[in-house]
Amino acid sequence: MNEPPNLRNPPQHIKHTELRRTGESAYRSVCPVCGKGVLFVRRDQESLALVNLDGCVICGQTFIYTDKEINGEPVIDVVRKTAEKPS
C-alpha cells in the first residue's frame, strides 16, 4: 500500500477559521494542500477538548491550528500536553 504523498512533510501552521468548510459540519474543512481531503478537528481522548494537531485524510499533510478557539470551544496544544505527560 502506498504512503500518502505528504505524510512525512513538516506540519503547517494554519488558522481553522480561514479554512473552507465541507458544508457537512462547522468542524470539517477542505485540505488547503490537496483540495480533496478533509480535516476533521480531533478531540483529546480524555477530556474531549479540541486539539490543535490535525491531518488530511487523503494526502497525509499534518496541520497545527493556531486558533485559541474553534466554534467557541477552546483548543488545547496536544503536542505540548503529550510532551508534559510523565512517563
Q: Write out the chain's pLDDT in tens, 87 residues.
A: 789 999 999 999 999 999 999 988 999 999 999 999 999 999 999 999 999 999 999 999 999 999 999 999 999 998 665 545 555
Backbone angles phi, psi at 81, to 5 degrees: -60, -40
Q: What is the pTM (predicted TM-score) of this model?
A: 0.84
The grid cell for 72 is 467557541
* Structure confidence at residue 81 (pLDDT): 55
Half-sphere exposure (Cβ direction) of 69: Cα atoms closer than 13 Å? 4
- 65: burial class by Cβ within 10 Å (0-12, 13-18, 19+)? buried
* Structure confidence at residue 2 (pLDDT): 87
CA distance 24 to 17: 16
The grid cell for 78 is 496536544
- 3-class state of residue 8 by DSSP: coil
